[in-house]
Amino acid sequence: MKARSSRISARAPSSWTRTRDGYTAEAIGNHDFDFGSVDSPTGRQTAGDLRGAIKARAAQAHYPFLAANLIDAATGRPVEWPNVRPSVLVDTAGIKVGVIGVMTIDALHSTLAANVQGLRVAPLAPAIIEEASKLRAAGADVVIVAAHAGGRCARLDDASDLSSCDEEAEIFRVARSLPRGLVNVITAGHTHAGIAHEVNGIGIIEPFASGQAFGRIDVVFDLRTRSVSQLHIFPPRSVVPDEYAGRVVEPDASVVRAMQPALARVHQLQATALGVSLPAPIGRGGDSGSPLGNVFADAMRKAVPAADVAVVNSATRGLFADLPAGPLTFGSVYGVFPFDNRIARVTLTAAELSRWLGGEIRQGRRTGLGVSGVNMRTSCESGDVHVELFRGDTRIANPIKADERLLVATIGGPTLSGTAGAVDPLGGGGPSENAPIVRDAVEDWLRQPHSLAQSDADDARCP
């Protein structure tokens, strides 16, 4: 006698779970915090709750936002915002399915530091175990984790073959640490890569990024034993050509209609002229530093009137494009720096700043380096890069004294200018919530008449 069974299909873009009737849940991820407060018609953030935008989107959604390991530091518990919860239990075809949402342990280091003050991310596996145990006690037959955390595999044709995978990636370590049978499926994300594998009895799917592919795991559930009998894991399938499983893939007309007002506003903002025209592009990289990095550094120093110096490295703080020639628009500046941040202030001695700049050059990041307020002269001493700082011509012997304290403006992050290899002069601190927004400072600076000059930084190459 053949046991009766039911099939549950988990198909999703990364970090989402979906049923046949629409989305069931969404896991909050790092870039959901980028937008700060509910913004103004000009696209600039207004004062107020710096998590206002994500709270507004969660309250607007017809399904819950999940964040089991996003902790309110004041309470020590998962955040309690409207329509945001650790997990959800739903009934589909008589089967109770629990869905848990978690985010990568590094989530709050990959967004605007000021927007996430007062929050912390708990380790994923203990949060999943605690929440999954509650769901099982409440009658969950199947447990799915929607994780804004992931990994990567080069081959996706055999779910049991992990030889092409980075087995030390976050989502694999999490899956291996869970009690076997507690969780059935993980829909992964964050790393923009592909996974279609089984680890510790858990099916893991990650369908790359940007909606370019479908991810699918079919869970076969035995109604007689009330248990999962089989997992069918499908490799991510591109949405081009416009066909999937014998059905035409086409835009959902209701979604298109719902998005039209917001998209119209976005297009209007993108086309907003700044009243400035560039005779030539300003590039991100150059042999003596980054011309575009210098523009950002000049703008940040202008936005912090007391600053002596501003530094940025476009190679490590996400300048994604050159600034194009011709009339500048809000859209062209946004395209250069889509993941905004606030300006941080840190006081360093000239010797400390020189050591950091030397480290950037030593690690091959000179081409992205932008500096404002000082000039620098580099030399090779005992096989290492040595940097001297000057307020004027580097050919005149008047360097800044090593013990002179300088107020430095930089892009907020866990380390100075976001360089993971550098000693952390911020001491784990970050910008305050009322610090200037970097992109706003650059936009204001570009609107002013001035010469787009490159800082004086002579070359030194050490073997």
**What is the SS3 assignment for 375?**
strand
Cα distance between residue 116 and residue 50, in whole Å: 8
Cβ-contact 351, 406 below 8 angstroms: no
Model pLDDT for residues 333-356, shown as the tens digit of each residue: 999 988 888 888 999 999 999 998
Task: Classify strands 405-411 and 343-349 as parallel, antiparallel or unpaired.
Answer: antiparallel
With a cut of 50, list the residues of the chain below it in pLDDT: 1-8, 10-14, 16, 19-20, 414-429, 453-461, 463
Q: Angle at which helices 438-446 and 291-303 pack, to 10 degrees?
A: 100
| Beta bridge mates, 231 | 219
Q: What are the structure tokens assigned to 357, written together?
A: 């700049």
| Beta bridge mates, 18 | 23
Cα distance between residue 1 and residue 88, in whole Å: 35
List, in sequence order, every beta strand (DSSP E) within 399-440.
405-411
Kind and range of the H or E element at 275?
Answer: strand 273-278
Cα distance between residue 443 and residue 303, in whole Å: 11
**Range 138-163 burial, b when 16+ CB lie within 10 A, else e:** eebbbbbbbbbbbbbbeebeebeebe
**What is the SS3 assignment for 408?**
strand
pLDDT of 462: 52
What is the Cα Rg of the chain in Å?
Answer: 25
> Does the pTM exceed 0.85?
no
Burial class of residue 4, CB neighbours in 10 A (0-12, 13-18, 19+): exposed
| Cα-to-chain-centroid distance, residue 56 | 20
Domains and CATH numbers, the chain: 5-250 (3.60.21.10), 273-446 (3.90.780.10)
Q: What are the structure tokens assigned to 104, written together?
A: 């990568």
Which distant-in-sequence residues (6+ apart) come within 8 Å of 440 by Cβ? 44
Cα distance between residue 296 and residue 446, in whole Å: 10
pLDDT of 4: 39
| Cα-to-chain-centroid distance, residue 15 | 13
Cα distance between residue 202 and residue 363, in whole Å: 40
Cβ-contact 5, 222 below 8 angstroms: yes
Instruction: Return the closest-CA partner of residue 188 out of 39, 44, 29.
Output: 29
Cβ-contact 458, 404 below 8 angstroms: no
Provide the residue type at 155 as one letter.
Answer: R
